[in-house]
Structure 1
Amino acid sequence: MSERTDESTRKDTDAPDAPTAEAVRAQLARILDSSKLQGSQRRRDLLSYLVEETLAGRSDQIKGYTVALAVFGRAETFDPSADPVVRLEAGRLRRALDTYYVDADEDDTVRITIPKGAYVAHFEWLARGEPLRSADNRIQSATDGGEDDARSAGTDASRWPIALNSGARRTGTIALLLAVALLVVAALSWLWPRVETPDVADAYGPVIMVLPFEALNPDEETRLIANGITQDVIHDLMRFPDLRLYSVQASFRENAGADPVALGETLAVSYVLRGNVQSDPGKLRLRAQLVDASTGEVIWSGGYDRAPDPNDLLGMRSELSASVATALGEPFGVMNAATGRRLAARNAPSMASYACVLRAYEYRRTFEDALFVPSLSCLTEVVVRNAGYADAWAMLGWLNLDAARQDMVPVEEHPAHLAAAQDAASRAVTLDSGSQRGFEALAALAFNEGNYAEAERLQREALALNPHDPEALAQLGWRLAARGHWDEGLPYLEQAIARSADPPGWYFHAISVHEYLEGNYADALAAAQRSAKFGSAIGLSLAAISYAGLDQMEAAGDELAMMAKAWPLLARDPAAAYASFQVDDQIIAALLKGLHDAGLVLPATTNR
């Protein structure tokens, strides 16, 4: 990218009709206080620096190198060709500013922009009555502004990097799976147009508009509660990295009864959330619906009743909004499931890149072998095409970790995949300091290396970014339980299960183990079966152990046979398989005894 300083931007503050420094700083304060930049301190710092340096008359000194040192804390050895942080953040900042001015109101008097080709701020008066850009002009490429970002959604399968060696795998169909993956994703790239809407810059995924929740009672208190819940739901949904939302201001410009299909046509909205609030004696009722804006079909509805507490109305609002946001936004929730169906049906404008992330979620939900190679190959292509897509890097980190930890590749390839996992997860956090998925991948890698304290710290940081996400709760709970901290770990897992509409099977592993250790074999079996139904080898092993505890040996043998087919290592060397997840030695010893009781012949020695 050129580092030139445009003369037209250098002299802005000298022009007689240019905004005053006071007006610019007032506008800067408004922007920094808005939701568009609240989620990224890096972008806030970048905007403040560029504005103040321009106002100070130092436009000619604003270069990528100086920005990297002053804003992003890079060392004097910073090499912009190797580290694109300034270019990427500048592109995201430009999109955030564009989004902000879509919702400009009468208090916004100055337009602040960062014209492409330089990092110098430009100021101009915002004319009263200036029309908002059309819906067509509001649609931008999510990769605009970064030279290392996407080139084109279209790609030729022959240019795909093959992410996996075609050596030994659990099945002999690796070449066929790769070929299918290449053809499918190449087709996705061509068949799904790239439609992006502005809000929540640098995220890829479905676009949602939350309409103002309707107050069904005429009193002012119910109206205020309905408005508050609307705002809370928008803010809670924004915590989920896979979703993009129109802002509070944009939502409240629409009528509660607005036509979702019309919004889909004019604003490129994928889904519309609408609802109502009603106060009955001793009860506050919230009803919400998610509507597919392409068809008008109601794809989800939920109802929540709470006893109003006059002393804690904010707490009640927060609880209600969190319930709605979690149901929609969790990785395995309503929104991603609906978007996956739309992509599969090829009837929705979206990105092949996001489709790859959804595929990776589905693999990590079920751990089906057939999904692994297409998911890893697809993500490998995505980060070449969209180098700034933090969530794709994070999921690539997860899948490379699984390649080694789940024994998906030959043992000699494990170190290379673990190194690739570390690099990918680190990239995610470097690209986006608020990348929840990135922190979760780093936490998993630290745990895999036996650095349990660092893993817990990183996972708690991920959970702090989104306390409503069941996945973040379950990751923390599972790791605590795996190290024997049952009293702290199990409540996190129970919260994750309670908040998830359809929890993945692995959420139940530690619960099954704990019930087995307590001698509650029926409860252990019930939990194990929630995982075994997905074909999980760990779930099948726990079911076999539980059946043995119940003295149902034929059923235990059936589970062992399916376990051996699902993951041969677990039958051949169960101690090594369990230990690959850093499970506490005492827990492993108990599980080995359970497998022996179920009829598994244990090896004389284990590869621990």
Structure 2
Amino acid sequence: MEEFDCPARVREELSRVLQSDHFHATPKRRAMLTFLIEEALAGRADTLKGYAIGLAVFGRDENFDPQSDPIVRLEARRLRHDLDSYYIAEGARNPIRISIPKGQYAPKFHDNLASVTARDGSTTGNDETAGSHVPEEVNASPRSVRTSSRLPWLVAGGAVLFALLVLGAAVVMLFQPAQQVRLEASQPSVMVLPFSVTSTDPEQQILAAGIAEQIMTALSRFPDFRIFWPPSGRKVGETFDPVEIGRQENVAFLISGSVASEGEIVRVGAKLVHSPSKRVLWSGSYDRKRSRTTLLEIEKSIASEIATVAGQPYGVIKSELASNLPAGGEPSNDSFECVLRGYVYRRNFSRQLHAKVQECLNRAVKRDPDYVEAWAMLGWLYLDSARFGLAAEGDKELAFDSALDAASHALSLDGNNILALKALSSINHYMGNIEEGERLAKKALDLNPNDPDTLAQLGWRLAVVGKFEEGIPYLEKAIERTRNAPGWYFHLIAINHLLNGRYAEMLTAAKKGVLDGSGVSWCLVAIAQSKLGNKAAARAALEKMAEVSPGLGRDPGTFLRSHQASEQIVSSLTAGLKEAGWTTPAGQ
């Protein structure tokens, strides 16, 4: 390729790359790419050293030592892989190609049209027959490029594409740090197979390939998954045996499906298979009316739903993994297992699990200091030490500081990590920074609108301070998208029913919460049973509340205010508890 020197068109190409769904770089690596290109275009390519990049992109201070802190080298290596993967697939026919040669940080810009033309054997004149070989227009939208360039791959390019991707992945793995290789090896492996079709209709072929691609894109927004392309030689429209492919490729979880149509109805079926056990963990069917929406909207909406079912924190895959965790909860040498135990703990905030999970995560961040999710989950555990009274007397503020440090460090590693944003949102909320907590929760939702836990976090954050009209729909949407939702998803919904005099509905929501053993859920059950005239059931629930949550049993007002609950919520719950038979404990 010849080097290309035209700043305006280079910036056009940068914009094209950053807007593409097929460019899978993290926000930090996107910022790094932008910085490198702008510095090079400004004539400062020779100043692009690790120290300068660490300060400008990764927030390091003047004491930053690139030799002892390898963040820039690691992220540059991953950025090269992101670019290579993009230009192998969607960007293959872009007019310009951006690269970052190994051993340096200064980017290079190449004229990609000549190589594409030579590769295709097309002409550059006005020959009308050359139209099928002409690259996409420079100003074409990412979606239009992706759609129109997909069909040639379906016909002939799948094997070549896969081979190049495997080669690129192998090179990256070869040079990854040992701790990164070890960590990734323990994370769940997922493969999305091309969906089968029964028709030769090109639209169905495109939809089948597109859904698989969109599922992979949506899954990539959830942490801790290793996502694999299907094996070479497989074509869109084929029927696959997921268990056999999982065995051959050493992949644990496989998503497959089919596309069909009946008149104006597009019907998509999907299933998630656990290859080692040969079990179908989930299956679903989706119907969409073609006349009401476009093919791309159908593709994206169905893929988002499938990825949500599979990838969310309390989704099918992590629930399956959690159900097979070793008993005992002793600190593990597997850092991913420590994060998974954190999710298990956060279903019901068990006091018995807290110390073991926190110890496990502390060991994880020492063993794998760049593991963002471990730092973020550790922030949650320190926060719980403070907000649930688990810290030693006088150490509450220290626990808050430790929580803030851990979550902030996670964001310094990846400024748009969803789990870190949610942790920092909650920490700010409990430290009294209500508006900042809301802002961070909304940012997390913007980055991954398919995550029900993010929806629930934002909904809870809004409703607990009295913004029920805004918060309750988020909670309801989170519950709708989650199989076996955690109990705390229902707390503010039950309280909203109480404030509106809907006591039967309140009891239903509260009972769904007690499945996780929450003291707040038992509090809400006691109030609802009392309102419905079931005094014996109310007293039994009060006893369970005091047993599970001593702080709530001793002083409900202080407990609720510590969660930043509005005075309306505090007064209504306190009055309801007294009506149910609660009295101030003796000697208090």
Fold in common (TM above 0.5): yes
Alignment partner, residue 191 of structure 1:
none
Cα deviation, residue 396, structure 1: 0.8
Q: 1:474 aligns with which of 434, 440, 456?
A: 456
Aligned match of 1:21: 3
Aligned residue runs from structure 1 range 396-435, under 5 A: 396-435=378-417
Is the aligned partner of 1:150 residue 2:179? yes
Q: What does residue 129 of structure 2 align with?
A: none
**Contact 1:141/1:195, CA 8 A, preserved across alignment:** no
**Residue in 2 that maps onto 1:586:** 568
| Corresponding residue number in structure 2 for 1:519 | 501
User: Which residue identity is paired with 2:488?
Assistant: W
Mapped partners of 1:532, 1:546: distance in 2 = 13
- Which residue identity does 1:454 align to in structure 2? E
Counting only pairs closer than 5 Å after superposition, residues 527-542 of structure 1 correspond to structure 2 as: 527-542=509-524
CA contact (8 A) 1:195 1:268 kept: no
Which residues in structure 2 correspond to 1:66-77 (within 5 Å)?
66-72=52-58
Q: CA deviation at 1:591?
A: 0.4
In the other structure, the counterpart of 2:319 is 337
CA drift at 1:489? 1.0
Question: C-alpha offsets along residues 352-387 of structure 1, whole Å, 9 cap, x if unaligned?
Answer: 211111110011112222221221111111111111
Q: Which residue matches 1:93?
A: 79
Partner of 2:583: helix, strand, or coil? Answer: coil
Number of residues paired by the alignment? Answer: 534
Matched, 1:505 2:487: yes
Is 1:566 paired with 2:548?
yes
Residue 529 of structure 1 contacts residue 539 of structure 1 at CA under 8 Å; is this kept in 2? yes
List runs of 5+ in structure 2 lacking aligned partners.
120-159
CA distance in 2, matches of 1:384, 1:46: 26
Query: Is contact 1:544–1:560 with CA below 8 Å preserved after alignment?
Result: yes
Question: 61, 64, 67: which one pairs with 2:50?
Answer: 64
Q: Which moved more, 1:376-385 or 1:230-239?
A: 230-239
Displacement after TM superposition at 1:279 (Å): 1.4
**Map 1:188-587 → 2, pairs under 5 A:** 196=185, 205-246=187-228, 256-281=238-263, 283-341=265-323, 344=326, 352-587=334-569
The SS at the match of 1:501 is coil
CA contact (8 A) 1:90 1:145 kept: no
Counterparts in 2 of 1:139 and 1:82: CA distance versus 1, 3 Å: closer
**Distance in structure 2 (CA, Å) of the matches to 1:296 and 1:439:** 36
| 1:599 aligned partner | 581
**CA pair 517-130 structure 1, distance change in 2 beyond 3 A:** closer
- Matches of 2:18 and 2:66, distance apart in 1: 26
**1:483: Cα distance to partner?**
1.1
Deviation at 1:93, TM superposition (A): 2.7
Matched, 1:46 2:32: yes
TM-superposed CA distance for 1:268, in Å, is 3.9
Whose relative contact order is higher, 1 or 2, with alpha carbons under 8 Å and at least 6 apart? 1
Q: CA, structure 1 residues 105+257, in 2 after alignment: closer, same or farther (shift >3 Å)?
A: farther
CA gap of 1:414–1:130, structure 2 versus 1, over 3 A, is closer
* Superimposed CA distance per residue, residues 52-85 of structure 1 (whole angstroms, 9 cap, x where no aligned partner): 8789997764422122245446565655578764
8 A Cα contact 2:193 2:230, kept in partner: no
2:534 alignment partner AA: Q
SS in 2 for 1:316: helix
Bigger drift between 38-47 and 231-240 goes to 38-47
Q: Which amino acid aligns with 2:53?
A: V
Deviations 1:453-480 (A, max 9, x none): 1111111000001111111111111111
Give the Å deviation of 1:86.
2.3
Give me the whole-angstrom Cα distance separating, in 2, the residues matched to 1:484 and 1:33. 37
In the aligned structure 2, how far is the partner of 1:253 from the partner of 1:33? 28
Letter in 1 for 2:261: S
Percent identity among equivalent residues?
Answer: 38
Task: Quote how far apart the aligned CAs of 1:232 are.
Answer: 2.5
Query: Cα–Cα, structure 1 residues 323 and 106, in superposed 2: closer, same or farther, change >3 Å?
Result: closer
Return the alpha-carbon distance in structure 2 between the equivalents of residues 46 and 316 of structure 1: 34
CA contact (8 A) 1:564 1:570 kept: yes
Normalised by the length of structure 1, the TM-score is 0.77
Query: 1:398, 1:62 → 2: CA distance?
Result: 37
Cα offset, 1:238, TM superposition: 1.9
- 208-217 vs 454-463, which moves further: 208-217
Question: Which region of structure 1 is more displaced relative to structure 2, 572-581 or 366-375?
Answer: 366-375
- For 1:150, the aligned partner's letter is Q
Shifted more, 539-548 versus 91-100: the winner is 91-100
Structure 1 unpaired stretches of 5+: 1-18, 154-193, 197-203
For the residue of structure 1 that corresponds to 2:291, the secondary structure is: coil
CA distance 1:131–1:59, shift in 2 (3 Å): farther
> Which letter maps to 2:352?
A
**Could you list the per-position Cα deviations for residues 5-40 of structure 1 after superposition, in whole angstroms to 9, with x for gaps in the alignment?**
xxxxxxxxxxxxxx5323999898687676564443
Classify the secondary structure of the residue corresponding to 2:290: coil
Relative distance call for 1:248 and 1:453 in structure 2 (3 A) is farther
Q: Which secondary structure state, in structure 2, belongs to the residue aligned with residue 22 of structure 1?
A: coil
Deviations 1:258-298 (A, max 9, x none): 44345435544332111012212453322101122334432
CA distance in 1, matches of 2:233, 2:466: 47
Aligned equivalents of 2:206, 2:48: Cα separation in 1 = 46
TM-score normalized with structure 2 length = 0.79
Give the match's secondary structure for 1:289.
strand
Verify the 8 A CA contact 2:370 2:413 in the aligned structure 1.
yes
| 3-state DSSP of counterpart to 1:303 | strand
Contact 1:68 1:86 in 2 (8 A): yes
| 1:134-174 residue CA offsets vs partner (Å, 9 max, x unmatched) | 9699468989656xx93896xxxxxxxxxxxxxxxxxxxxx
Amino acid in the other structure paired with 2:538: A
C-alpha change, 1:569 and 1:151, in structure 2 (3 Å) is same
CA distance 1:141–1:568, change in 2 (3 Å): farther
Judge conservation of contact 1:212–1:254 (CA < 8 Å) in 2.
yes
Q: Counterparts of 2:242 and 2:55 in 1: how far apart (Å)?
A: 46
The root-mean-square deviation of aligned C-alpha atoms, in Å, is 4.0
Instruction: Name the structure with the higher helix share.
Output: 2
Cα shift at 1:528: 0.5
Report the CA distance shift for 1:431/1:253 in structure 2 as closer, same or farther (over 3 A).
farther
SS in 2 for 1:412: coil
